[in-house]
Amino acid sequence: MPPSLITSSLPATPSDSESDDPLHSLLLATDLIPLAEDVTKFAGVDYATSQAGILEVTLNGTIVKIKHDGGAAGCGGKVWPAGELLSRYLISARDNETYLAHEALWKESAKRKIKIIELGSGTGLVGLAMGKAYSLATKDCAVEDAGLDIVVTDQANMLSLMEDNIELNQLEETVSAEVLDWGTDLPDNYINPCPDVILAADCVYFEPAFPLLEKTLLDLTGDNTLVLMSYKRRRKADNRFFQSIKRSFRIEEIKDYDEYKEFSRNTVFLYRLIRKTLRR
């Protein structure tokens, strides 16, 4: 795998924002942060101990700048291997008809806005990587009222970090940041219409949150929604989430990707989820 993360000399200020409800704020609980020995190293980067700063993440030739807080606001404020995997996959597929494992979407984006929501975005890496790749690929052929409409979401304590990274990458026209707490009622604009694509990287790590994540996925998805989920296996209990959502989704492991073997060898996996036919 080519080098991916290079830390620049630019310092970043840790976020001071906190959730108003610390009992509800999953990301602020220190016992939710994966143990250091449980974290995979890629390209010599220890994701568990990297310090706050600006990362230049190079993904198959596309550079995304990421301000991160080194975990000051919880594990969401750092870059993790599952986020790198999903970002790499999205970018690697951008120039062919298997883009997003859904050949119609790339062509459709030339005609209309493709609605994309990322859950548990943290720094926003995945949504930003997709936005950057699309922006570079279409810089000379942009069409008004077409393209990608990407919303990166997380809890309130992550909002300023996501907004900073959108600005850092000059993606304000393609990517926006919003607060979304799993398990809560969704605003009408999230589900009318349902998203074309949902992205989720390393969202399966805290068992009490599994029903909340499942509810949000069920509320967001329609018959034609594609869910792309990357996941670092850490605990046997994680399987309970996938066993539960199998009742509502077809789950396929995405193995036909050149770099996947190295990630999966380190228990970082990539899945495609398609909603089973909804009863009307």
Each residue of 4-19: pLDDT tens digit?
433 333 333 333 333 3
Check the annotation: does 106 bind a ligand: no
Residue 172 pLDDT: 95
Residue 235 pLDDT: 84
Residue 78 neighbours by CB under 8 Å, 6+ apart = 47, 48, 50, 68, 69, 70, 71, 122, 123
Question: Alpha helix locations (H) across 152-255?
Answer: 159-168, 188-191, 210-220, 238-245
Q: CB of 17 within 8 A of CB of 154? A: no
Residue 280 neighbours by CB under 8 Å, 6+ apart = none
The residue ranges of every structural domain in the chain are 5-275
State which amino acid sits at residue 245. I
Residue 37 pLDDT: 31
Residue 73 pLDDT: 59
Q: Which residues of 144-162 are buried (b: 16+ CB within 10 A; e: fewer)?
A: eebbbbbbbbbbbbbbbbb
Which residues in the chain land under pLDDT 70?
Answer: 1-51, 70-77, 93-106, 140, 142-143, 278-280
The pTM of the whole model exceeds 0.75 = yes
- Residue 2 DSSP code: -
Residue 32 pLDDT: 36
Residue 60 pLDDT: 77
At which residue do the structure tokens 């690697």 appear? Answer: 92
Residue 219 pLDDT: 96
Check the annotation: does 71 bind a ligand: no
Check the annotation: does 121 bind a ligand: yes
* Residue 129, H or E segment: helix 125-137
Q: CB of 50 within 8 A of CB of 70? A: yes
Superfamily of domain 5-275: Vaccinia Virus protein VP39 (3.40.50.150)
Check the annotation: does 69 bind a ligand: no
Each residue of 132-174: pLDDT tens digit?
888 877 776 766 778 899 999 999 999 999 999 999 999 999 9
Is the four-CA dihedral 140, 143, 147, 153 of positive or negative sign? positive
Check the annotation: does 258 bind a ligand: no
Check the annotation: does 154 bind a ligand: yes
